Each structure stands twice: as structure tokens, then as C-alpha cells.
Amino acid sequence: MDTRIAAATVLTAVLRHGQSLTQALSRVNDKVAARDQGLLQELCFGVARYAPRYEVLADNLLSKPIKSKETEIKALLFLGFYQLEHTRIPDHAAINSVVEATKKLKKSWATGLLNATLRRFNRERALADETAAPVAASYQSDPQFLYAHPQWLINMLRKAWPNDWQALLTANNQHPPLTLRINQQRISRADYSAQFDHPHRLNNLSRQALTLNKAGDITGFPGYHEGWFAVQDEAAQLCADLLDLKPQQRVLDACCAPGGKTCHILEQQPALAELVALDVDAQRMARVEQNLTRLGLQATLKVADAGDTASWWDGQPFERILLDAPCSATGVIRRHPDIKLLRRADDIAKLAQLQQALLAALWPTLAAGGRLLYATCSVLPRENEKSVQQFLADTPDAVHTPITDVAWGTERPFGRQLFPQEHGHDGFYYCILSKQV
């Protein structure tokens, strides 16, 4: 399959049918030549990252919008924009590649349209470079164009973080680093670093984290098959310390897939009495099992809805619970840029309701004196400190335990918030809730 047609197929599945980018890519990836699969991924992720910007461009450069049934053509137009702005492909080749794709799709009506639109855009870009003038004064100040985020999300972030929203938006558009978590049950970070010949640095926030200067094929890294490491962002690695794990504790990982935190808990404290890991999705749970096996770890896995405790809980309390709650994932947009396309403003209130329902359902399973760590990969207070605030107001024996003596994040009235950092960690939120004796 032609690489641009493949990319347009993937992006149509996201833009029109609401599929995740990862899911859509998995269905098409093998249909292109192996040498082009890296380019396919770059094009798809790149267009998803800048799609809100390209929506503004299309609105201003087209005399009338492309019909929804022709989303493939819209995706090809966006591919043209992205190739011109963000790749080393020569301009004429970038334009010609998408024009030729319209011919292969037998969409002759779109051939001239895309050719003219992309050439106009390229002329305006060149003129702007020569004169230092804006590309088009009518829309160059549009926040969606400038920040490549949907307007609703820009508004929420600006309101929530008046001093940080621009840096946050900028960080969301960066390529994320590849960070490893070294399995301390197999090898120390220092020993792994000494034999790891890829340029890297040792992270400061997590004692097990090691970040590469440039991403690579992890299956070729030393110790991959022996379970010496796993891929996990540094911010996500903070949870094991926050749980304050002790030998013979019974621990619950309530929404565990894909299992990074599950594995880290077992690496951190191998003498647990039991770790019960839940997820509602059987396919995702299969990935958890694969990760545990490669790392040489064991847990009790249950495919179940964490909120439906009657279907899985045996009545024996847990001393520790990790609730990595379903959320908007607005802290990991740089890893999943399709979030910009799939999320809607009204999703946030619905997610907050789900988070509070999960907190309420799981709280009775926590032992007196136990600790529940509430975590999200969101940067929106409505899903984080506001959800916790509501839960505390509704739950007399729940107490907020401040996270102190740490060098990361921003202290909030409840918990701590991390923002995504260029060349650093993702956006994340943690809050410790303790149960009164």
C-alpha cells in the first residue's frame, strides 16, 4: 500500500470514526513496506499532533470545507501541510506525494484542489520567511493555529494554570523521550548503565529511571529478553515509592493495564503477601501478563470492573491500593496526540464522576490504617484535586496525607501535580489518601 494512502486511511479512522491512533495503525502497518513503516508512524503521529492547527489552515485556504464523507482527502491535505512544515522531504516531492495519492484513490476531483491549496500554502510560507511577516494575518493569532490544541482544552488549561498554560501546550507538542525502568530484582541501575552503550542519562526523580538521548529498538538493548528493564516514563515510576510498600502486605492495583506500575510494585517489594491486579479489558490484561512474564514477576490477575467489587473481591482487605484512574490523559498528549482529536470538553465531567465512583467503591476494600494512592495522567484539576476534594467531603474516615520531602511537581491543596517537561517526564498527578483506624 502507498505510504500516504496508508497514513490517510489511519487518520480517517481517527478523524471520522473515533478510533485510537495506535489501534488504527496496528491494522494498517503491515500493509506498507517494512522500510516505510517508520515514515508511516511519523506521518500519522505528526498530523495528529498538529491537526487543530491544520483545521484552521484548511478553513482559511479552502473556499468550502471538504465533506465528511471525503475525510481521506482531508487527511491527505493535512499530510501535505505536515510534510511541508515538519519533514525534510523536498517541497515539490511533499506536494506531489499527496497529489499522486488522490489519483491512486481515483479521486480526480481532489487532485487539483490539493495541488493548488498546498502550493498556495507553500508560497505564503516562503513569503513569510522572506519578510518575517505572518503567514496570514486573519488567522495567525488564532490560539488553535498557534498552539495546535483544540480551543476547549486551551481554555481549560489557561483557566487552571494561568502562569503555566503556554509552556504546558508547548511541551505537549514535543516528541517524548524514551525512558527505561531498570528491574532492580535483576540488575542495579549503575551496573546496567555501565554496559549500556546508547547515550543516556540517569534520572533524578526515580532511582530506577534511565532516559535515552535518542530512541531505539528496545528489543536489541542488553537484557531485554532477560527482563532487566521495562519502558516507563519517569513520572509514572514515582508511584511505587509513594505506596510505601512493606513485606507481607496485600496490595491492589485497581486499573492495572498495561502493567508498568504492577511490575514496578513487585520489583520494589518482592516480599508482598499478594498483589491483585485488575483490568476490565481482557486484551489489555494479556499485555500485563506478558510484561510480568518477561520481567520474571507474579501477580493475581483478574479481568473485572474495579468498581463492581462484588464480582472480584474476596472480602480480605488490602493494606495498599493503587487507583491509576481512567482520565482524559491530558498529561501524556505528546505520546498520544490523538487525544486532541478524540477528547471532548464534556468528557471531563463524565470522567470525574467515574473517578469518584471508583474511589467510593474501592474505599471499603482498604484496611484501616491503609493507604490508597490516587493517580492520573491528567493535568486538569477537575479530574485531580477536585475529585479528591469531593471524595474527602463524602468520606468521613478518609484523610489526605500530604506528599512532602520530594523535589518534583507542584504542591496542590490535595496531592501534587507534575507538568510534562521537554526532554523529561510526562504530566501526572498523585494524591495519598489514608484510612483512619
Element holding 98 (H helix, E strand): helix 91-104
Which among 426, 302, 309 is positioned nearest to 375, based on CA atoms?
A: 426
Question: Of the residues 44, 263, 377, 431, which is catalytic?
Answer: 377
List the Cα angle 110/338/61 in 5-degree steps. 35
Q: Do 268 and 276 meet the contact criterion of CB atoms below 8 Å apart?
A: no
- Report the SS3 class of residue 378: coil
Neighbouring-strand partners of residue 200: 212
Alpha carbon 226 to its chain centroid, in Å, reads 27
Which among 79, 33, 39, 31 is positioned nearest to 58, based on CA atoms?
A: 79
Distances (CA, A) of 185 to 154, 205, 265, 268, 297: 43, 19, 11, 8, 10
Element holding 179 (H helix, E strand): strand 179-182
Q: Do 323 and 391 meet the contact criterion of CB atoms below 8 Å apart?
A: no
Residue with cell 494561568: 162
Neighbouring-strand partners of residue 181: 209, 230
Q: Do 323 and 253 meet the contact criterion of CB atoms below 8 Å apart?
A: no
377 counts as catalytic:
yes
Distances (CA, A) of 212 to 8, 103, 193, 203: 31, 42, 11, 10
Distances (CA, A) of 218 to 194, 212, 224, 228, 284: 17, 11, 7, 11, 20
Catalytic site positions: 377
